[in-house]
A and B are shown apart, each in its own frame.
Chain A
Amino acid sequence: MPNFLVKLIGLLLIVATVGVVSCQALAAPGPDVAAAPSALPAPRG
């Protein structure tokens, strides 16, 4: 296999793993806001 093709496959693998995983980490949802304790007091009765 020519050296150029080997390098191209390597670069594609790097972009497809490191690049995609990094973008997914950025797009992943943050902490669950609903689970955070509310500052409002609970209604009585």
Chain B
Amino acid sequence: MTRFFWLVSAGLLLALPLVLLLRRRLVIVAERYKHLARPFSPMAGLLMFWLPLPVLLAAIGSLIDGDLMGLFNNGVGYSLFLGGAMLLRRGLRSEADYSRRQVAKTPWPFKALGGGLIGLATGMVAWTSAGHSPIMSIIFGSLALLGCYLTYGFDPRTAKRFTDRDGIDSTDRVLHALTQAENSIAAIEQAIRNIHNAEVNSRLRRIVGQARQILTMLEEDPRDLRRARKFLNVYLDGAKQVTEGYARTHGRAQTPELENNFRQVLATIEQVFGEQQQKLLEADVTDLDVQIEVLNTQLKREGVA
């Protein structure tokens, strides 16, 4: 049995470089066509959920055998592994958010905490369940921690600050505005769940999609925040209040007048959100035009062009 596990481990060790090489080739090919910030991959950190599964099986085996000590050791070990894997995944997710945004707070060190918990779990399982000496168990735990650090890296340690044109640090203001907008969108999504009208719901989902796209544009370039102030303070907040009000009342009293008014308001909101999106895109194009013009002038002045 032990020989079988050693063979499986050796096979995994040999197969891993091949899989990584193939994956790297695929990523290189994909990146030729896509030059965007890398989003959070749904597969990121899943390895740490799969690898400790034999500990769960050992806990189940101990339960069947009536081995209370084994059940406790393997159960606690697997719980630590699971907690570590969840923290690690959360850390990877917040790192992806951090790298996507131009303005961001320093994220919580979830990756470091997860790696620490995985190292602790490895050491504990090596000592209590696999029967290694305490010194060997500490070595196992430390190597697992090192492996987590080398594979997933450390958490970002600095905040991405934003200074506006007047030279004032407006990081907190930008983050506050973005969080409020995110809360309004979440409130509209919550209200959609209470509205039982397929047509209204699909229209509201379209509006939420548009709002999210605008928010992503603002996250990527917070200079646009000034241009989108009306969208954030008036339209998005208004859309939230109207949708929440409709969700509250339409269940109790269904009047055709209310339905018509709400439909008209939704059509207006959809149009306004679309215009806002277009305005931000046009502003980006104008900014780029200005930059090209400045560069052209500079090149001409220096006699290059």
Q: Report which A residues bind B (CB closer than 8 A).
A: 4, 6-28, 30-31
Are A30 and B67 in touch, CB under 8 angstroms?
A: yes
Q: Name the A residues within 8 Å of B130 (CB-CB).
A: 21, 24-25, 28
Q: Name the A residues within 8 Å of B143 (CB-CB).
A: 13, 16-17
Query: Whole-angstrom distance between the alpha carbons of A31 and B50 in the complex?
Result: 26
14 CB contacts below 8 A, A to B, read A7-B20, A7-B150, A10-B150, A13-B147, A18-B147, A19-B9, A20-B5, A20-B9, A21-B130, A25-B55, A26-B5, A26-B55, A28-B58, A31-B67
Are B129 and A15 in touch, CB under 8 angstroms?
A: no
| Count of chain B residues with a beta carbon within 8 Å of a chain A beta carbon | 49
Q: Secondary structure at chain B's binding surface: helix, strand, loop or mixed?
A: helix
CB distance from A27 to the nearest CB of B (A): 5
Are A22 and B67 in touch, CB under 8 angstroms?
A: no
CB distance from A3 to the nearest CB of B (A): 9
- Residue B277 CB within 8 A of the other chain: no
Are B47 and A14 in touch, CB under 8 angstroms?
A: yes
Q: Name the A residues within 8 Å of B65 (CB-CB).
A: 30-31
Q: In the complex where A9-B150, A22-B53 touch, is A30 in contact with B62 (Cβ < 8 A)?
A: yes
Are A14 and B12 in touch, CB under 8 angstroms?
A: no
Are B148 and A14 in touch, CB under 8 angstroms?
A: yes
Are B151 and A22 in touch, CB under 8 angstroms?
A: no
Instruction: With a 10 A CB-CB cut-off, give which of A8, A15, A26 has the most chain B CB atoms.
Output: A26
Q: Name the A residues within 8 Å of B149 (CB-CB).
A: 10
- Residue B17 CB within 8 A of the other chain: yes
Q: Which of B141-164 contact A (CB under 8 A)?
A: 141, 143-144, 146-152
Q: Name the B residues within 8 Å of A6 (CB-CB).
A: 150
Q: In the complex where A14-B47, A15-B9, A26-B61 touch, is A21 in contact with B140 (Cβ < 8 A)?
A: yes
